[in-house]
A = this chain, B = another copy of it.
Amino acid sequence: MNDFIFHNPDKVYFGKNQLCHLGEELLKFGKRVLLVYGGGSIKKYGLYDEIIKIAKDNDIELFELSGVEPNPRHTTANKGARICKEHNIDVILAAGGGSTIDCAKGVAAATLRDDCDVWPLVSGGVWVTEALPVIAILTNAATGSEMDGWSVISNMDTNEKIGMGGSALIPKVAFENPEYSYTLPRYQTACGAFDIFNHVIDNYYLAGDATFDLLLDMQEAVMRCVVKWTPVAMAEPENYEARANLMWASSMALNTILDGGTVHGCACHAMEHELSAYYDITHGHGLAIVTPRWLKYILSEETAPAIYRFGTKVFGIEEGLSPMEGANKAIDALYDFCENTLELKMHLSDLNIDETHFEAMANHACGGGPISGLKELFPADLVEIYKMCL
């Protein structure tokens, strides 16, 4: 068991009737606010109008950065940073899913640079300790950005999608109203849910040489939650219980309460970021394709007990099998969940992706060293896993 630090000062307002606190929270930071959002879906379901009204009622001056992409571009973040600098913005308000919040964090960090360019921070792996404050209104259970210190930014010129981290990137406040996710399409619901799931399994059972049982048990609870409630949310988009369980699972998966000294391999995330960077696919879909193949690839006598435990706890695989047999059943159950419950096409070829860039992607994902985790992975390993996904 490894030592760890837990520190997450984000203040979360969760539930139906919480946006009434938005004004007071914004005003703690100032009256000049940059509203960041995506393609305008917040206009369709009334959230935009609510924000405008709250701003007016509180004498807040609102500026806007709209059109944030699903894989948010560094150029968009930079545009936002220039607006912040020009208008002396005090606080950034992100309203949307993980991409919008990630972009807002990019804006927050880039604004404090003379050149308003986020990319040197992202590509340089700089740990961000200074940024404008971000307040998030979450509309999609997926990335965990509403409670984490990460921002994933894409540079389509260089085919790079990289996570930028830092204590200053944790939102100061997050509003999580499960109702805002009612309009989310079936496919996006499934992809978001698998993103949550993978955030947990990417760091599962890796707590050093002793068992941090409580942590594993809580990790499994989040994965069980995804397995149970995602099909409900897909079938009944306005089921509050399903949306609420998934939204809180999104936050729990990455607010570091489940970290507890685990070794952050994030092998699947590293591999998927490459897929998104080259092919601009939906992140959670890419993860669903990669994850069962990754588990199959790392399966060995050594890793089988952990994978089998996962299967029993999350998919109800029976006890008493050999570790290897149990682990194989666990992986099959996960694949079946992705294909038949989440209804995701499970081959890269389904997304028109072939081997062309596998080697470059594998090298970039490893970033010069192996990926840690249940099993260390080198670029040659990643190429093999990508091939299994074809």
Given A1-B244, A221-B218, also A15-B213 (CB < 8 A) = no
Tell me whether A17 is interfacial, beta carbon within 8 Å.
yes
Contacts of A10 in B (CB 8 A): 7
A1-34: CB near B (< 8 Å → 1, else 0) gives 1111111111111111110000000000000000
A280 to B112 CA separation, bound complex (whole angstroms): 57
Other-chain residue from B16, B212, B218, B228 in contact with A244 (beta carbon distance below 8 A): B212
Main secondary structure of the interface of A (DSSP, over half): mixed
A72 to B257 CA separation, bound complex (whole angstroms): 31
A15 to B340 CA separation, bound complex (whole angstroms): 42
Contacts of A16 in B (CB 8 A): 3
- Distance (whole angstroms) from the CB of A148 to the closest CB of chain B: 14
Of the 9-residue stretches A119-127, A245-253, A300-308, A362-370, which lies at the interface with chain B?
A: A245-253
Contacts of A211 in B (CB 8 A): 241
- Distance (whole angstroms) from the CB of A21 to the closest CB of chain B: 9
CB-CB nearest in chain B for A225: B214
Tell me whether A222 is interfacial, beta carbon within 8 Å.
yes
CB-CB nearest in chain B for A211: B241
CB-CB nearest in chain B for A210: B241
- Distance (whole angstroms) from the CB of A312 to the closest CB of chain B: 14
Q: Judge whether B1 and A241 touch: CB under 8 Å.
A: yes
Query: Which residues of chain A from 43 to 99 have a CB within 8 Å of any chain B CB?
Result: none
- Distance (whole angstroms) from the CB of A237 to the closest CB of chain B: 16
A10 to B221 CA separation, bound complex (whole angstroms): 24
A230-263: CB near B (< 8 Å → 1, else 0) gives 0000000000110011001100100001001100
Tell me whether A215 is interfacial, beta carbon within 8 Å.
yes
Query: Which residues of chain A from 121 to 162 have a CB within 8 Å of any chain B CB?
Result: none
Other-chain residue from B1, B214, B248 in contact with A249 (beta carbon distance below 8 A): B214
Q: Judge whether A214 and B210 touch: CB under 8 Å.
A: no
Q: Judge whether B5 and A214 touch: CB under 8 Å.
A: no
Q: Judge whether B248 and A260 touch: CB under 8 Å.
A: yes
Q: Judge whether A13 and B5 touch: CB under 8 Å.
A: yes
CB-CB nearest in chain B for A226: B214
Q: Judge whether B15 and A240 touch: CB under 8 Å.
A: no
A-B contacts, 14 of them at CB < 8 A, read A3-B13, A3-B17, A4-B14, A5-B12, A5-B14, A7-B9, A7-B11, A210-B244, A213-B229, A214-B248, A217-B221, A218-B252, A220-B221, A248-B260
Please name 19 further chain A to chain B contacts, defined as beta carbons within 8 Å, in addition to the given A3-B17, A4-B14, A6-B14, sorted by A numbering: A1-B15, A1-B244, A2-B15, A5-B13, A5-B18, A6-B12, A7-B9, A7-B10, A7-B11, A7-B12, A9-B9, A14-B261, A212-B241, A212-B248, A214-B222, A214-B249, A214-B252, A217-B221, A218-B221
Q: Tell me the A residues contacting B by CB distance below 8 Å.
A: 1-18, 210-215, 217-218, 220-222, 224-225, 228-229, 240-241, 244-245, 248-249, 252, 257, 260-261
